[in-house]
Structure 1
Amino acid sequence: MTEADAGPEDAPHTSRAVLTAAGIEKSYQRGMWPARRPVPVLRGVELALAPGEVVGLVGENGSGKSTLMKILVGALAADAGAVTRGGRIGYCPQEPVVYERLTCDEHFELFGHAYGLSPEAERRSRRQIYAALGFERYATTRTDRLSGGTLAKLNLGLALLADPEVLLLDEPYAGFDFDTYLKFWDLVEQRRRAGRSVLVISHFVTDQERFDRIVELRDGQAVAR
């Protein structure tokens, strides 16, 4: 059963969704010329997120999870279909996009400016993120000197900075220790209570009770589990 076919118990009604993907298709060219051919990855994906909903998106390697995430956030164009965003999007990519010579503080300042936050709002949000994830002691450390786990915290923190209505996370807890993993889920629960939506991509899902729904990408389509 796809999201388009799902009943009210399986997916939010699109009229109240904060993020909707309708009929998303994407193919990549494979092979050498002149034998190159398009290989479909996404075949009409339907997906919607309601306010305050936490959804897990799973699938095998190569199923198109990261491709779909990039389309949802606007970093990649779909071949067909449409994405409707009902609020600000926060995006935590699988590979952190940082500047090696900048400190954590400088990254927050840079991203705060890009988000249009006032200096006061950026500093307030930054302090909350440092405290929530426990890496304030690295505030003035350049990112090329951070451990993988601390870099993952910064990556998540930058996505959280502007308090987005929708948070899109691609393998967000890779590199987290168990304590940080628990802090991550505390943050997710806070966002759920605040009516914020979270979509988490993972190869597999543990702690399924933390999610409102699990959606699997299978044969290029989103299938409710």
Structure 2
Amino acid sequence: MFTGIVEELGEIVAKEDLADAARFTVRGALVTSDAGHGDSIAVNGVCLTVVEVLGGDSFTADVMAETLDRSSLGALEVGSRVNLERAAALNSRLGGHLVQGHVDATGSVISRSPSENWEVVRISLPDSIARYVVEKGSITVDGVSLTVSALGRDGDGGEFFEISLIPTTLEMTTLGGAAPGTPVNLEVDVIAKYVERLQAAGR
């Protein structure tokens, strides 16, 4: 379990393509500082298991084909920057919201509208998860816990949502440099899915 508060920007320093998976080597001195084999670290919002710690500032993780296909991790290459967060401790503050590290769908950045003190980013919203997203609700974008500032439809009927990013988020996460067309991992608030399931069971 995570909170969606990114601890540091890491980097993919190696990628080994396997038959039905890929092994990534990720550099991140902070998240690796107390990591061990079997620990969980979120990489762009995807919960990965540490296979090996290398040199004190990097770790390796295996990513199965399904995860590569269903998330934006398949598009990562050596040199890609990634958002990193260690699993939450029970005695830590919940600065964001409850994040599982299980990607529900991918969207893509549609546009960016900068202003003096923040930047509004518009992201496509897949039909499969649109019902779980509400204005002023929480959503995780590439591992970052954010508040939905607006919802809408484009001229073709496709849905989108907007997030407003403060300078700290722009500086400390990959969202600061995500150009239009960039794919992003989306995880909706798990509470909404539980509520839907319970309501369906009670019919």
TM-score by length of 1: 0.25
Work out which of the two has the higher radius of gyration on C-alpha atoms and give 1 or 2.
Answer: 1
TM-score by length of 2: 0.27
Give the helix-richer structure, 1 or 2. 1
Indicate the structure whose relative CO is greater, using CA pairs within 8 Å and at least 6 residues apart.
1
